[in-house]
Structure 1
Amino acid sequence: MTTTPADGPPVPVPVVVVLPDGQKLTARLWARRETPRGWLYEVGLPAYSNTEDGDVQAAEYRVWVRAPEHVRPVDGVAYDAVPTERLPAPSAVREVLGPRRPSGWVLQKVGGRRPGPAVLHAVDCTDAPQNAPQLSLERALDVAERPSTRLCSLCGAAQELDPMLRGFEQIENG
């Protein structure tokens, strides 16, 4: 949290930081950020550093800490001029579905024969071969249509590709 005097750059304001061992230090508050997991405050903790010629000088160590767990206000200090960033909240859809999986498909050849039996996996499947080339959706659908290709049920390749191969009616009528 900084204030900006009319004649110069922003000036940080004091804040109390609670260290992991319970000690409390007065630090300088530079900024705050609201994230989906809560507030973070960028604080400058007093420290010392060594110069190239071996001297010791006063320094500041900047770090982002959680608020209010690690930060306390100082009585009588106004924090309304501190630069504040509010990150957009995640959509309800993304919260329910979770992070998107990487796109792409990989083919695992079974028995080493060409064009013999194979298993089609999503690129992030734990059973997918590590160094197999990644297939586009169009190529994966071509491979999936072969009678010798099985779609992996562990990673959901079957649930994702079957509707595109056989039509969405089978889901509604099934």
Structure 2
Amino acid sequence: MPAGNARVVVVLPDGQELRASLYERRRVPDGWQYRVAITIWGTGSSGRQEPVERAVWLDASHVRPLEGGDYSAVPTRPAAPVGRAAARQAWTVQNLPHRSGHPGARLVHVNGCQPGATPIDLDQALDALQQPRTVPCRECNAASSFTPAD
């Protein structure tokens, strides 16, 4: 288990409970959100089934601590300043379909590069880029948009 990672229970919409890894937490205007990852079966680059980890941000109502868990090493993001609370959606994500012999993929773009792609904010873009088969678009040089300007 990576440092700063703890185990939690995630409650699914149908009431099922799964154990997950807690990677970080952040304060939001109406409480807390937790970035958790669940290991599920997915299709690998070879086309075979293999375990893959999927990470998402969830509201506190969907995450429960395991008894005796130590969360002191879990990174905690402070609340966003009031002027930044509604983060600008400066990126988009495009899902590319699965084709014979090629698994599906996702591209993260700078807003405006790909008409019809789904708008996302900075946290969503960074989370997406941590997922398998997700890359920044080369056409709009999306990777450079995540580096602070000097």
Equivalent-residue separation in structure 2 for 1:50 and 1:14 (angstroms): 25
Equivalent-residue separation in structure 1 for 2:73 and 2:4 (angstroms): 10
Structure 1 stretches lacking a partner, 5+ long: 3-8, 92-174
Partner of 1:85: 77
Equivalent-residue separation in structure 1 for 2:7 and 2:75 (angstroms): 14
Residues 136-163 of structure 1 deviation map (CA, whole Å, 9 limit, x = unaligned): xxxxxxxxxxxxxxxxxxxxxxxxxxxx
| Cα separation, partners in 2 of 1:11 and 1:81, compared to 1, 3 Å | closer
Tell me by how many angstroms 1:11 deviates. Answer: 4.8
Tell me by how many angstroms 1:55 deviates. Answer: 1.1
Identity of aligned residues (%): 42
Comparing both structures, which one devotes a greater share of its residues to strand?
2
Tell me by how many angstroms 1:88 deviates. Answer: 4.0
Equivalent-residue separation in structure 2 for 1:65 and 1:46 (angstroms): 16
The answer to whether the 8 A contact 2:23-2:35 is kept is yes
Residues 57-87 of structure 1 deviation map (CA, whole Å, 9 limit, x = unaligned): 11111000001x1011101111111100112
1:35 corresponds to which letter in structure 2? Answer: V
Structure 2 stretches lacking a partner, 5+ long: 84-150
The answer to whether the 8 A contact 1:36-1:89 is kept is no
1:74 corresponds to which letter in structure 2? Answer: L
The answer to whether the 8 A contact 1:35-1:89 is kept is no
Rg larger for: 1
Query: Secondary structure of 2:26's partner?
Result: strand
> Bigger relative contact order, structure 1 or 2, given CA contacts below 8 A and separation 6+?
2
